[in-house]
Structure formats: C-alpha cells, structure tokens
Amino acid sequence: MADIPLHRRIYEQLRKHISEGLYIEGSLLPSENELCSLHNATRPTIRKALDRLAVEGFITRQQGKGSIVKGAPKGVGILSITGTTLAIGSEKLDTKTIVKPEIRSWKKAFSFELTELEKEVGCIYFERLRLVNGKPVFFDITMIPNINLPRFVSRNHEIPSLFNMLREQYNIEVKGGEQKIMAVNANKTIQNHFQLKPDAPVIQLDRKIITSKPGFCFYSQVFCNAQEYALYGTF
C-alpha cells in the first residue's frame, strides 16, 4: 500500500467521483456502513473522509437521512486547500507564463515575514496568468524558497500546476496554509491582463502555503477578476 492514509485515499476517491458526476447532485451517498464494506474500513475512518468532504462543501449530512451530494463547489473553490488547477479543473483552465521561473533575492514574501534561512537562499520567482474558459481570471505571483529543489528553474519553464509538480518531482505534499483577503483597485499590469477599466476592483489574496516537508513553505499573491468568477467557500 501507499503510505497515504486510508481515510485520505477514501476522501480523494469520493471527491473524484462527486466531481465527475458519478454521484448525482441532490442524491444520497452510500450510507456510512455501506462505504465501510466497499472500502474495507470502519465507520470512524469513513467518517473522517466524509467530515472533510462536508467541510469542503461536496456533501452535506443529515442525521437520520444520509449524506447529500452537493456536487463540486460552484464558483471557485480556491479558498480551500486545492490549488487553482484542481479548483477549476484542468480542462477549463489555461496557464500562460508571464515571467519564467528565475532565482531572485527577497526580504519579504508579500505580507509574510521570512526566516533568516529563507532570506539567505533566495527564492524562485515566477508569474502566471490563468485563464478560465479562455478568459483571464487569475494572475498569480509565486515565490518559493530555493532550498533542495534541484534543477527547478532549468527544468520547469512552464508550470501548469505547481501542486502536482511538487508532488511528482519532489514528493512534496501541500498540507494547508493561511491567507489574507483584500479588495484593491487593479493596477496597470492587472488592468492589462484582465482587460479592465482603471479603478476596477479585484480581490487580492496573499497566501502562505505549508507543505509536508517540515519548515518548507512557499508564498503566492493572487489577483482575481472576481467580477466574472466569485470566489466560493464553505465554513
């Protein structure tokens, strides 16, 4: 078996099935006991997977009735742990690299402070424009500490999905993060990318992303053209 915990594998499989429409919106998921048999697990394990699906808005649960499928969250689930690629779905998402990955020095990561080690090693910097159904919706700047990422810059000129890339090439899993959300007026650069009028409001997200590699975080600043796509979240 993989070393990915059982409850996480079950969560991911169920989420995939819901996203793909295998379970119809509004219908009921198999009961917890049925899922136990299906996955050879016990209820607490199944419930841990369902808890997470509920937190992320894929299902709601009703005592006495069952787990009601709500489908993949509408709008953009970018506020959750998933990266942009997963939140939007790669078939709808195009990525255009504005600034290719390069080594830079840094003293701060947007509104987040850095450790001394992070400052010393510098960062890998790149900018991407993300298009949903052909329309530019996200512009994101990413800064990754230049630690133990051999051949990152030379190997990756285009990065369609950072989360997948880190997992596949470096075995680094994203665990979570924190973010600040602001409303700002689009600057010239953003106006150009999103084709907006001056003073158009956009959402700015400053994110610190925590990984499975202890002490290894990376940072991104995302501007969202939230006139077309509202960000969406559950709580």
Q: What DSSP string runs through 138-149?
A: EEEEEEEE-SS-
Please give the residues from 65 up to 124 whose contact with DNA meets the rule CB under 7 A: 65-67
Among residues 6, 114, 147, 174, which is the contact residue for DNA, using CB under 7 A?
Answer: 6
Q: How far is CA 208 from CA 45, 98, 181, 188, in A?
A: 29, 21, 12, 25
| Alpha-carbon gap, residue 136 to 122, rounded angstroms | 30
Least distance to its own copies, CB of residue 150, Å: 26
Contact 121, 201 (CB under 8 A): no
Give the one entry of DNA, its own copies, none that residue 75 binds, where binding means its C-beta sits below a cut-off of 5 to 8 angstroms depending on kind. Answer: its own copies
Count of CB atoms within 10 A of residue 140's CB?
20
Q: Is residue 210 part of the contact set for DNA (CB under 7 A)?
A: no
Q: Which residues of 92-125 are buried (b: 16+ CB within 10 A; e: fewer)?
A: ebbbeeeeebeeeebeebbebebeeebbeeebbb
Only one of the segments 37-45, 143-151, 158-166, 218-226 lies at the binding site for DNA (rule: CB under 7 A); that segment is 37-45
For residues 78 and 225, the answer to whether their CB atoms sit within 8 Å is: no
If the CB atoms of residues 27 and 187 are measured against its own copies, the closer one turns out to be 187
Structure tokens at 45: 């394990």
Asked if 89 is part of the footprint of its own copies (rule: CB under 8 A), the reply reads no
Distance, CA of 157 to CA of 181 (rounded, Å) = 29
Mask 201-220, x = binds its own copies (CB under 8 A)? xxx--x---x---x------
199 binds its own copies (CB under 8 A): yes
Q: Is 214 in the site for DNA (CB under 7 A)?
A: yes
Instruction: Find, among 155, 143, 162, 149, the residue nearest to 206 by Cα.
Output: 143
CB of 54 to DNA, least distance (A): 8
Q: Binding mask 45-64 vs DNA (x if CB under 7 A, - otherwise)?
A: x-xx-x----------xxxx
Residues contacting DNA: total by CB under 7 A:
27
Binding-site ranges for its own copies (CB under 8 A): 44, 55, 57, 60, 62, 73, 75, 79-81, 111, 176-185, 199-203, 206, 210, 214, 224, 226-227, 230-235
Interface with DNA (CB under 7 A): 3, 5-8, 29, 31-34, 40-45, 47-48, 50, 61-67, 214
